Amino acid sequence: MAKYGMTGEVVVREPRLTRRRKAANAIGRVSGIGINQTVDLSKTSVGDLNTILTLTFVDSAPFPTDLENLDGFFDYCDKMDDIERGNADRFWDELCKAVSDITEGRVDPLGSFAMGSLTTNSD
């Protein structure tokens, strides 16, 4: 995180079952799924869905990873941009690439390794 003017380490890994369930619950709330399991797309925020899906893979980080309330994560990103405009976008791109590498099998999901300022870990 030092290259973004921040401290700490981000650990990215294949999410555990409990983390995936929390993500599914958060997505259900964001997408407006009703009691009868229908989706009201007028209430769906694609940006929030993408953020929830990506943060699901974050095991530990110096920022809040609460999938139910994304404000803490976005506040942290704003602090990165206060240090240097564009830091949050560069960090987000790097985080998305790490998640993509895991989901597309480009990295061993059972290994632990560093990718840029991120650490991928699937213990």
CA 33 → CA 25, 37, 50, 74, distances in Å?
A: 10, 6, 17, 24
The position carrying tokens 């953020």 is 51
- Give 19-73 pLDDT, tens digit per residue: 999 998 888 777 766 566 666 666 667 788 889 999 999 988 999 999 988 999 9
pTM confidence score: 0.80
